[in-house]
C-alpha cells in the first residue's frame, strides 16, 4: 500500500544517474559551505571594485536603490533527500502555503552478527524508540505518530527524491498520540545482567509500542541466517516509515525533528529466555539508509495564487523547505545601467523584507536563506554564487528581513560574463524541515525589496 502522494517509490542508483547524484552532492556542499562561512564570519561589507578605479578625471560614483526587481514563486524541482542531517515527521496546515507533510524512511540494523537470543524464548514487548531533537510549528498540536513496515529494500548508495513515498504494509506496526514536551521523562524498567530490573529515566524520547506479530517474527529467527549479518536482516526486515498527522483538523500542526543517526533510535525488544528478562536492540546507525519524504498541497492557501503563472502582480512571494517553494529573482533591464559605459560595482546589497505578520509563532521564519544562480528553466544552476564564500555574503534573518551582499555576482552580470537569468532564493534546510518565509515583492505597500547598488562609471 502506498500511503500518500505517488503510487510507488522510484529508486535510482547513482551508477545509473551520475548527473543527479552529482547535482545533489553540489547542493549539500553548497549548504555546508554556506553555513560554515556565514556562521564563523562577521560581515565585512568592504567595497569590491575600488582597486579597479583609474586615477583619471571623468570617474563618477553613484548610489541607487530604485532598480526594478521581479519575484515569482515556483515549485521546487527534484531535490535528493537521502541521508539528511536530521529526520522529520509531521503535518502543517498554514493559510500561507497550505497543507504540508513529511515522514521519514530508515533502515534498522543489527549491532552484532550471528545473534542467538537464547533458549525457551517468550516475548514481553517490542517498542519503537524515537529520539527528539526539536520541532517546528504549533507544539501544542496533538499528533498521531505511526510506524509502518516498508515492503521494498532501501540503499544508502541510492538516490531518492523529496516526493518519493515508500510502499508499506497496509496496517501500521504501532501508533501513539503525542504532544511535544521539552521536559517529558519516560520511566522504563530495564533488565540488568544480574536478572533484576532497574528503572531508568529517559528524556527527549518517544516510545511507541509495536504489534506482537512483529515481536514474535523476530524471536522466531533467533540463531538463524536472518540474524547472521545485516545483509540477511535487511532482506528479512526492509525498514520503517514514520509519519505524524494532526488529530484535530482545526489545529495548525507541527513537525517533529529526530536524530538522523543514533544508537538510541530503533527497536527495543524485551523478552525472556530461560525465565530471565532481557533486551535486544535493533538500531539506526551511521550506515543505515535514511531519507525524508515530503508532500504538499497548496489548495486554499495564498501559495495557490502565488504559483499561478500570472502572479507577478502579487505583493508577496514565498519559500518553503521540503523541496516545496522557492522564489526566482530577476532584475529587468539591469544591463542597460551605464548607457554603454563600463560599470564597476563597489557594493551590491540585496534586501528581502519579510511580510508583516507572517513570521510569528507558530510559523517562524527560517534562520537563513541563500541564493543560487538560476538556470535557463528557472531551476537551480550548478554554478556557485561567486560571493558565497565571502565573509560579507549574508542571508541571515535579521531585522525582519534577509540581506545579501552580491558584489561579485552583480559585477559579472553587468560585464556580461554571467547569463541574465536571475537568482533563486531557497531555504537553507531544504530536505529536513518545513519552515517557510513570506517575502514582500515590489507590489507590496511598504517595505519593498531593494537592490542597493554603489557603482562607478568609468570614462568612455
On whether both 183 and 118 belong to a single domain, the answer is: yes
203, 45 Cβ separation under 8 angstroms: no
On whether both 291 and 339 belong to a single domain, the answer is: no
Distance CA 452, CA 65 (A): 4
Q: Is residue 6 part of a domain?
A: no
Distance CA 159, CA 120 (A): 43
Half-sphere exposure of 32 (CA within 13 A, CB side): 8
On whether both 93 and 112 belong to a single domain, the answer is: yes
Q: Is residue 8 part of a domain?
A: no
State pTM to two decimals.
Answer: 0.85
On whether both 291 and 321 belong to a single domain, the answer is: no
- Cell numbers representing residue 416 in the block: 556580461
Domain boundary among 247, 269, 297: 297
125, 278 Cβ separation under 8 angstroms: no
- Cell numbers representing residue 279 in the block: 533486551
Helix, strand, coil percentages (3-state) for the chain, rounded to 5, are: 15, 40, 45
Tens digits of per-residue pLDDT, 97-134? Answer: 999 999 999 999 999 999 999 999 999 999 999 999 99
Q: Is residue 33 part of a domain?
A: yes
Q: Is residue 7 part of a domain?
A: no
On whether both 322 and 199 belong to a single domain, the answer is: no
Domain boundary among 297, 321, 345: 297
Domain boundary among 247, 270, 297: 297
Residue numbers of the domain that contains 244: 86-297
On whether both 272 and 132 belong to a single domain, the answer is: yes
Of 432, 431, 444, 433, the residue nearest 400 (C-alpha): 444
- Cell numbers representing residue 447 in the block: 517595505
Half-sphere exposure of 209 (CA within 13 A, CB side): 6
135, 180 Cβ separation under 8 angstroms: yes
Of 167, 169, 276, the residue nearest 217 (C-alpha): 169
161, 21 Cβ separation under 8 angstroms: no
The structural domain count of the chain equals 2
Residue 74's pLDDT is 94
On whether both 144 and 241 belong to a single domain, the answer is: yes
| Partner residues linked to 143 by β-bridges | 178, 246
One-character DSSP codes across 280-295? EEEEE-TTS-EEEEEE
Q: Is residue 230 part of a domain?
A: yes
- Tens digit of pLDDT at every position of the chain (460 positions): 333 333 333 333 333 333 334 444 444 545 444 444 444 444 445 555 544 444 445 567 899 999 999 999 999 998 999 999 899 999 999 999 999 999 999 999 999 999 999 999 999 999 999 999 999 999 999 999 999 999 999 999 999 999 999 999 999 999 999 999 888 899 999 999 888 999 999 998 999 999 999 999 999 999 999 999 999 999 999 999 999 999 999 999 999 999 877 778 999 999 999 889 999 999 998 899 999 999 999 999 999 999 987 767 899 999 999 999 999 999 999 999 988 899 999 999 999 999 999 998 999 999 999 999 999 888 888 888 999 999 999 999 999 999 999 999 999 999 999 999 999 999 988 899 999 999 999 999 999 999 999 999 998 7
Q: Is residue 3 part of a domain?
A: no
Residue 193's pLDDT is 87
Give φ, ψ of 320 to 5 degrees. Answer: -150, 135
One-character DSSP codes across 70-126? EEEEEE----B-BS-SEEEEEEEEETTTEEEEEEEEE--B-SSSS----SSEEEEEE
Give φ, ψ of 408 to 5 degrees. Answer: -70, -40
Cα–Cα distances (Å) from 85 to 96, 115, 292, 381, in that order, read 26, 30, 10, 23
Distance CA 84, CA 67 (A): 38
On whether both 347 and 198 belong to a single domain, the answer is: no
Secondary element (H or E) of residue 233: helix 230-236
Environment class of 14 (CB within 10 Å of its CB; exposed 0-12, middle 13-18, buried 19+): middle
Q: Is residue 4 part of a domain?
A: no
On whether both 164 and 257 belong to a single domain, the answer is: yes
On whether both 238 and 372 belong to a single domain, the answer is: no
On whether both 111 and 197 belong to a single domain, the answer is: yes
- Cell numbers representing residue 219 in the block: 524471536
Q: Is residue 5 part of a domain?
A: no
The total of other beta-carbon atoms located within 10 Å of residue 200's CB is 10
On whether both 319 and 292 belong to a single domain, the answer is: no
Give φ, ψ of 209 to 5 degrees. Answer: -65, 135
279, 268 Cβ separation under 8 angstroms: yes
Reported in sequence order, the residue ranges of 114-173 that DSSP labels E, i.e. its strands, are 121-137, 143-149, 158-159
Amino acid at each position: 500500500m502506498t500511503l500518500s502522494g505517488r503510487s510507488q517509490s522510484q529508486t535510482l542508483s547513482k551508477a545509473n544517474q551520475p548527473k543527479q547524484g552529482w547535482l545533489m552532492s553540489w547542493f549539500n556542499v553548497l549548504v555546508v559551505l554556506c553555513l560554515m562561512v556565514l556562521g564563523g564570519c562577521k560581515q565585512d561589507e568592504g567595497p569590491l571594485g575600488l582597486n579597479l578605479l583609474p586615477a583619471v578625471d571623468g570617474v563618477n560614483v553613484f548610489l541607487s536603490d530604485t532598480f526594478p526587481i521581479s519575484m515569482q514563486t515556483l515549485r521546487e524541482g527534484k531535490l535528493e533527500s537521502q541521508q539528511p542531517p536530521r529526520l522529520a515527521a509531521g503535518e502543517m496546515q498554514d493559510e500561507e502555503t497550505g497543507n504540508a507533510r513529511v515522514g521519514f524512511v530508515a533502515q534498522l540494523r543489527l549491532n552484532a552478527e550471528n545473534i542467538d537470543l537464547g533458549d525457551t524464548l517468550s516475548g514481553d514487548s517490542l517498542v519503537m524508540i524515537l529520539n527528539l531533537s526539536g520541532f517546528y510549528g504549533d507544539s501544542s498540536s496533538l499528533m498521531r505518530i505511526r510506524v509502518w513496515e516498508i515492503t521494498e529494500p532501501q540503499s544508502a548508495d541510492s538516490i531518492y527524491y523529496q516526493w518519493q513515498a515508500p510502499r508499506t504494509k497496509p496496517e501500521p506496526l504501532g501508533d501513539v498520540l503525542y504532544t511535544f514536551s521539552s521536559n517529558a521523562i519516560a520511566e522504563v524498567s530495564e533488565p540488568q545482567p544480574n536478572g533484576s530490573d532497574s528503572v531508568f529515566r529517559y528524556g527527549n524520547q518517544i516510545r511507541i509500542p509495536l504489534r506482537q506479530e512483529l515481536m514474535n517474527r523476530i524471536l522466531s529467527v533467533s540463531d538463524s541466517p536472518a540474524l547472521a549479518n545485516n545483509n540477511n536482516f535487511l532482506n528479512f526486515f526492509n525498514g520503517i516509515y514514520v509519519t505524524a498527522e494532526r488529530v484535530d483538523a482545526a489545529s495548525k500542526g507541527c513537525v517533529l525533528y529526530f536524530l538522523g543517526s543514533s544508537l538510541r533510535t530503533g527497536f527495543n525488544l524485551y523478552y525472556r529466555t530461560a525465565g530471565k528478562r532481557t533486551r535486544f536492540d535493533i538500531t539506526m546507525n551511521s550506515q543505515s539508509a535514511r531519507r525524508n519524504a515530503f508532500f504538499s498541497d497548496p489548495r486554499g492557501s495564498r501559495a495557490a495564487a502565488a504559483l499561478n503563472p500570472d502572479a507577478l502582480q502579487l505583493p508577496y512571494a514565498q519559500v518553503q523547505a521540503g523541496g516545496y517553494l522557492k522564489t526566482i529573482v530577476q532584475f529587468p533591464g539591469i544591463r542597460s545601467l551605464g548607457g554603454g559605459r563600463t560599470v564597476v560595482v563597489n557594493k551590491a546589497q540585496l534586501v528581502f523584507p519579510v511580510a508583516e505578520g507572517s513570521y510569528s509563532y507558530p510559523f517562524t521564519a527560517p534562520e537563513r536563506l541563500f541564493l543560487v544562480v538560476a538556470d535557463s528553466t528557472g531551476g537551480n544552476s550548478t554554478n556557485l554564487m561567486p560571493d558565497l564564500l565571502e565573509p560579507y555574503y549574508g542571508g541571515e534573518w535579521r531585522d525582519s528581513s534577509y540581506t545579501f551582499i552580491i558584489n561579485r555576482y552583480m559585477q559579472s552580470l553587468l560585464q556580461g560574463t554571467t547569463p541574465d537569468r536571475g537568482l533563486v532564493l531557497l531555504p537553507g534546510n531544504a530536505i529536513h524541515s518545513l519552515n517557510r518565509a513570506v517575502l514582500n515583492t515590489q507590489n507590496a505597500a511598504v517595505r519593498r525589496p531593494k537592490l542597493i547598488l554603489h557603482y562607478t562609471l568609468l570614462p568612455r
